């Protein structure tokens, strides 16, 4: 049952595996980079991947975590 498909309304999943949010600590200088794509490719087997949030700024949170202050400058 765990690996069978799941459907509920508009939600269509290839299995019942849900990956909880985790801190990846792959953001060099607290900026998004290609390691993020590698991480999500590694997680592709899960039916649903819930991504984590960002830290409010470079002085709080985990090392190598994306922070909102740096991302405001990317737009």
pLDDT tens for each residue of 27-55: 777 777 888 788 888 888 999 988 776 77
What band does 8 get if pLDDT is binned at 50, 70 and 90?
A: very high
25, 64 contact by CB (below 8 A): yes
For the chain, what is the largest distance between any 2 Cα atoms, rounded to a whole number of angstroms? Answer: 45
Radius of gyration, CA atoms only, the chain:
15
Domain spans in the chain, listed from the N-terminal domain onward: 17-74
Task: Give the three-class secondary structure for 12.
Answer: strand
Give the pLDDT score at 33.
81
> pTM higher than 0.85 for the full model?
no
17, 11 contact by CB (below 8 A): no
Give the pLDDT score at 59.
75
DSSP class of 50: P
| Contacts (Cβ under 8 Å, ≥6 apart) of 9 | none
């Amino acid at each position: 049952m765990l690996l069978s498909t799941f459907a509920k309304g508009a939600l269509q999943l290839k299995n019942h595996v849900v990956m909880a949010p985790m801190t990846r600590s792959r953001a060099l200088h607290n900026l998004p980079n290609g390691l993020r794509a590698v991480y999500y490719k590694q997680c592709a087997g899960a039916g649903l991947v819930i991504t984590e949030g960002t830290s409010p700024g470079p002085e709080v949170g985990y090392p190598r975590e994306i922070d909102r202050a740096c991302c405001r400058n990317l737009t």
